Each structure stands twice: as C-alpha cells, then as structure tokens.
Chains A and B, each alone.
Chain A
Amino acid sequence: MSGISRVFIANRGEIAVRVIRACKDLGIECVLGASTADRSSLAAEMADRVICIGPPRPSDSYLKIGTLVHAAKKAGCDALHPGYGFLSERPELAEACVSNNIVFIGPPAECIRKMGNKLLARTLAAEGGIQVIPGSERLNDPEEAVRKAQEIEYPVMIKAAAGGGGRGIKVVWGPEELREVFYMASSEAGESFGDDTVYLEHYVPNARHVEVQIMGDQSGTLVHVGERDCSLQRRYQKIIEEAPAYALSAERREEIRGAALAIARAIRYENLGTVEFVFDQDRDRFYFLEMNTRIQVEHPVTEMVTGVDLVQEQVRIAAGSPLSISQSEIRTEGHAIECRITAECPEQNFRPCPGLIAEWVPPTGSDLRVDSHCYSGYFVPPFYDSLLGKVVARGRDRPHAIENMARALSEFSISGIETNIRFLLLILEHPDYRRGEVNTKWLEKMLASANGQAEQEVV
C-alpha cells in the first residue's frame, strides 16, 4: 500500500486481531503496543513486533498518548490505528500523530472534535436540516422546565449535561412529576458529575437504534455502506446488532442514509464513521443521536451483507487512496446478525468473569464469522472489558440468519469461564425477537420479567 508500510496498533483484544488481519491482507507490517497483561495475546503472536507500553491499567498503557506515539515513531511506523474505545475518539491522539509525521487511521482531529461535543454535533445536525430530538437548553428552575416540556411534548427525559453512558437520566411523564424531580435530578447531577446543569429531551418510548455506516476519502467522495439495527441493548450496551435495519420502510431507509451523508458532508468528514439515530416506531420518524468517528464493534454485520472490508478501506483512505468501491456498487445481500460473546455471568446480574479459558472451540460453517482474540489456554485479564469475541451469522433473510446464529451459538464450546451464550440463545428463541418486535427497552424488560421484577423498574 503506497503511503503506509508499517502500522502501529494502539489497542488490544479482538479489534487488534481484526486490524492486524486487514493490514496483512494489504501487505502492511504491524507493530502492536501491548500492556504487560497482553504480551502473549493472540494479537501479539500475529504482529510482526510487540512493544510493551506499560502495566495493565489502561491509564498507564493504552490511554497514554505520548507513550503510544513515541513507540510508534521509534518503531518506524508510518501510521497508527486506534481501534475502538481507549483513545480512538480523542482528537489529541490524532493531532499527536500528525505532528510526528504519523498517519492517524481515522478522521482528522477537527472532525473528531466536532462530533465529540454532543451539543455541538446536535447543532450542526440541526443546521444541516436533520431532525434532532426536541430538547431544551440548560434549565434554571422547575417552572422553566415545565414550560419547555410543554413545547417538547411528554414523556421527557431530564438529563445531566455532564452525564454520559446512560447515567443521570430520568424519564418524566407529566408536569407534576417534573416539578417533583427537578431539584433531585439537579442535585444528583451535581453529586455524580460535578455539574448540576440539567436539560430536557423528548423521550421516545418505542425506539429503535438505527445507525448508518459511512465512509469518505480524502478527495471528498462520500458513500454510505447501509445501516444497522442495534436495538438490543442492556444498560445502553449493545448486545445484538443486525444489518440491514429491518424495521425501516424503503422511504425512511433512503431518508436516513441521506441524513447521515448530509451530516458527514457538513463537516467534510473523512475516513470511516457511523451516524446514529433514534427511530421512533410509533411515529415513523428518526432523530439524529450522535456520530462515532471510529470503527465500531459491530462493523462485521455490514461487511457480511455488503462484502466491503471496512478496516481495509479505513487504512486505504488514510493512505490517501480513493474509495475502492462506488455507491452504486455497494449492495446489500441477505441479512447478518452479530452476537457479542462476553465473559459475564447472566445469572449473577452479568458479573464479569475473567479467568483462564480451558477450552475454546468456536463454531464453523457457511455464512459464519467469529472475530475473537481468545483460544484454549488464554487467560482473560480482569483489567479490560469483558468482550471475548463476536459471532456473526448471515442468512438469505432474517429468519435464516437467526437459525444460523442459533446453531452457531449452540455449537460454541467454551469452558473454564462463564459466558453469556445461554442468555443470547434465550433472546434468539424469544417469539418477540423472531418476529422482530423489539425496541431499545425490550431486552431490559425481558430480563426484568425473567427475574420477576416489576416492569416499571425498567426505564
């Protein structure tokens, strides 16, 4: 590949393996930055060189911009891939790379910065004519909140401005309730996030999470690579993702793709990105949620139905090459589902279960892909997230994809540690899931009823 000959991988786990594979296919060398806990990981075995960047704690290794860029430079790398999580959406890393003559495999720092600020991203989307979830600015008192809520329409969410990851959110269904909870929400926000600013947002009770994969090269060509439905979530963490987003009408599908491209165009987006939307199933309309400026965990479902290698494309774009495929050549065939396999014990409230994997025998078969960094004898370190890998199954339509996935998961043999596989199978067998009648709250409601809790506890 012209322009890039050696990539530094500033990540770990399955995504490090994924990036190494893409680089090998492109004939590019890989240097892996690994913490002491990951020195003998699968990615470390596959990489051409491994450099120990620090102790296991991410703040001492995978989150140290200076250390990573320094290592990349000294190892003669001309590019750096950030993976997802860790520093992947930190504009400072992109800038540090550029100022050291290292190509950052991702968008320019400016794009990351614009989309990283959620309020600014919202404003940019609104200016581009994209519907954003109706909401307020910061609120000073309960009466102001009640006035705003009238405009926004109930139910509304009262949110902490400094909150994140689904924390600091309360759903309110009427003015009395809003008056009651206002000060409580504000003081909780202050205690939890050090900032008591709260604002309102319209709450969509019957929502789907739909996201559009886009990519753009340095010459300004932008395409979408279809969309994904990631509505099955627990505590705002995606569990099962699918492509295409099967709940959209042809008309909405065209609109949502157009909206994603419009946002990307507005900020002159370059490289791979995902524009996330909330799709209101009751009103058949969608709202811009946010944009992720990195490769996503669930990218393989898109690859399975389109045949586009998104990670290779990402590296090519960063190297200055044009997109290898045009919009008219990108076609979706069949349906793909991804299940995230985690080292968690569902019976014990999803307690993480790191430890030694005695046996790891992934399923095989046609239209099946397993992305993972695990193997028999691998020790799952307790310092990082619990993702062990992803099973991605394709079928000619959604029912066939579900069958393929259910068979694959039942074949998956893992011993030594607990995993969520039984839980995933329960979802796949559920009639609601089979019919596709789900929303972003469905999984938590299903869990609550399985645990015999009142449904109202689940918001």
Chain B
Amino acid sequence: MNLTQEEILLILKILKDSEFDELDLQVGSLTMKARRKGAATTSCSGPARDESLRPGNPSLHARADSTRTEPIPPRISADEEGLLSIKAPILGTFYRRPSPKEPPFVDIGTFVNEDDTVCLIEVMKVFSTVKAGISGRIKKICVEAGDLVEFGQVLFLVEPGTDRDHGAA
C-alpha cells in the first residue's frame, strides 16, 4: 500500500493540529518522519524505540493529549525547568515507606543515586520497589501515599546532578 499525496498532506495536517512535535510513521515499505520546526527532543533516556518492529506508532493520535503515550516510555523525562520526573513503571498503590513505622525512602531535598529506592508500588499485596533511575535531588513528591498511581504517572520531580554538586546524601 502506498500513500497518496493527499493522504500525506492529511497526515501532516493532523500533526499540525495536534500537540505532537514529531511523527514517525511506517506504512508498508514507506517510512515517513516529520518534525515540527524547533521541536526539542523530549525524552532524554530510556530504551531506544525500536520502530522496525512496529507497523505504526500508537502515540500518533489526532485527539491525544500532550502526554506522550510511548509503548515503552522512559521512566525519566525532563520538564521545562530542567527537572526530571520519575514515573510509575506499573499501576498500583503508591507507598513512601518500607513499612508504616519506618521513615520514608526519600523526602524533598533528599539526594538520590540511580540505584536508590524511592518508593514502593503495591499490586494485590505484591510490593515492587521503584528505583530512582537517575541521580539528583528530589524537588517534588507528586503523589500522596496510598494513592492509586497509573502506569507512567509522574511520582517525583528530580533536579539532576551528581554527588559532587550536592554533597553526600
């Protein structure tokens, strides 16, 4: 199947009217890549998207909101102020403490390394630890303990940096 010129123009129009900055589309053997002028690359880490395995990118949607809905989203992404977010890798109930009597894993101002646990997510009594995945200082905790967090929901905002920038945690 080939795209007609009309269809390509239509796709570009949909992209223009949408809030997406980039489009990667593969239809049969035809590959189309489009980028809005001046668009910044949004994701700064996470697995590379393997477009060759997929006939199309599901995040392309005329009515999609501005949240990128990647199949394998990077757990970390940057906002305008240069803060990185740690996102929920699974749906579940958010917990800040290893147990009710212990202190929270992290607080605002805590410096975290990539392998540090920042919270627990519970699904049907099974608790999973969530690692920071990035080093930096916790600037904001976006969820209340006990809340249901969705897959991909932002849990923490982190000011990126290394030990040396911030001193020992």
- For A96, what are the chain B residues with a Cβ–Cβ distance below 8 Å? 124
- Size category of the B interface is 35 or more
Interface residues of A in 378-424 (CB under 8 A from B): 378-383, 415-416, 418
The answer to whether A36 and B148 touch across the interface, beta carbons within 8 angstroms, is no
A67-B91, A74-B148 known; A39-B55 Cβ under 8 A:
no
Chain A 53-69 per-residue mask, 1 if CB under 8 angstroms from chain B, else 0: 11111000100111101
**What 20 new A-B contacts, CB under 8 Å, besides A37-B71, A382-B56?**
A36-B58, A36-B69, A39-B69, A40-B65, A51-B91, A52-B152, A55-B151, A56-B71, A61-B151, A64-B123, A67-B124, A70-B91, A75-B148, A345-B1, A354-B55, A377-B62, A382-B54, A382-B55, A416-B7, A418-B1
The answer to whether B150 and A53 touch across the interface, beta carbons within 8 angstroms, is yes
- Complex: A55 Cα to B92 Cα, angstroms: 14
Q: Which of B7, B56, B122, B150 contacts A52 (CB 8 A)?
A: B150
Interface residues of B in 101-135 (CB under 8 A from A): 122-124, 126
- Complex: A422 Cα to B18 Cα, angstroms: 32
Query: Is B61 in contact with chain A by the CB < 8 A criterion?
Result: yes
List A residues at the B interface (Cβ < 8 Å).
Answer: 35-37, 39-40, 45, 51-57, 61, 64-67, 69-71, 74-75, 96, 345, 352-356, 358, 377-383, 415-416, 418
- Complex: A69 Cα to B91 Cα, angstroms: 11
| A-B contacts, CB under 8 A, total | 109
B9 shortest CB reach to chain A, Å:
10
- Complex: A336 Cα to B25 Cα, angstroms: 39
The answer to whether B71 and A52 touch across the interface, beta carbons within 8 angstroms, is no
Q: List 5 A-B contacts (CB under 8 A).
A: A40-B61, A64-B123, A74-B148, A355-B25, A378-B61
B28 shortest CB reach to chain A, Å:
9
The answer to whether A356 and B64 touch across the interface, beta carbons within 8 angstroms, is no
Q: What are the 4 A-B residue pairs with the smallest beta carbon separation, nearest first?
A: A377-B62, A66-B124, A74-B148, A52-B150
The answer to whether A355 and B56 touch across the interface, beta carbons within 8 angstroms, is yes
- For B55, what are the chain A residues with a Cβ–Cβ distance below 8 Å? 352, 354-355, 382
- Complex: A40 Cα to B73 Cα, angstroms: 16
A371 shortest CB reach to chain B, Å:
20
- For A345, what are the chain B residues with a Cβ–Cβ distance below 8 Å? 1
Query: Taking CB as reference atom, which chain A residue is nearest B70?
Result: A36
- For B93, what are the chain A residues with a Cβ–Cβ distance below 8 Å? 70, 74
Main secondary structure of the interface of B (DSSP, over half): loop
The answer to whether B153 and A382 touch across the interface, beta carbons within 8 angstroms, is no
- For B27, what are the chain A residues with a Cβ–Cβ distance below 8 Å? 355
Query: Is B44 in contact with chain A by the CB < 8 A criterion?
Result: no
Query: Taking CB as reference atom, which chain A residue is nearest B23?
Result: A356
Q: Which of B10, B71, B90, B123 contacts A36 (CB 8 A)?
A: B71
Query: Is B143 in contact with chain A by the CB < 8 A criterion?
Result: no
A70-B91, A356-B14, A377-B63 known; A382-B151 Cβ under 8 A:
no
- For B11, what are the chain A residues with a Cβ–Cβ distance below 8 Å? 356, 358
B29 shortest CB reach to chain A, Å:
13
The answer to whether B58 and A382 touch across the interface, beta carbons within 8 angstroms, is yes
Query: Taking CB as reference atom, which chain A residue is nearest B60?
Result: A379
B58 shortest CB reach to chain A, Å:
4
- For A57, what are the chain B residues with a Cβ–Cβ distance below 8 Å? 71
- Complex: A358 Cα to B25 Cα, angstroms: 14
A55-B72, A356-B11 known; A37-B150 Cβ under 8 A:
no
- For A356, what are the chain B residues with a Cβ–Cβ distance below 8 Å? 11, 14, 25, 56, 60
A375 shortest CB reach to chain B, Å:
9
Query: Taking CB as reference atom, which chain A residue is nearest B88?
Result: A52
- Complex: A381 Cα to B58 Cα, angstroms: 5
Query: Taking CB as reference atom, which chain B residue is nearest A54?
Result: B151
A388 shortest CB reach to chain B, Å:
15
Q: Which of B10, B59, B60, B91 contacts A54 (CB 8 A)?
A: B91
Query: Taking CB as reference atom, which chain B residue is nearest A37?
Result: B58
The answer to whether B14 and A377 touch across the interface, beta carbons within 8 angstroms, is yes
- For A381, what are the chain B residues with a Cβ–Cβ distance below 8 Å? 56, 58
A96-B124, A356-B60 known; A53-B151 Cβ under 8 A:
yes
- Complex: A37 Cα to B69 Cα, angstroms: 7
- For A51, what are the chain B residues with a Cβ–Cβ distance below 8 Å? 91, 148, 150
The answer to whether A56 and B58 touch across the interface, beta carbons within 8 angstroms, is yes
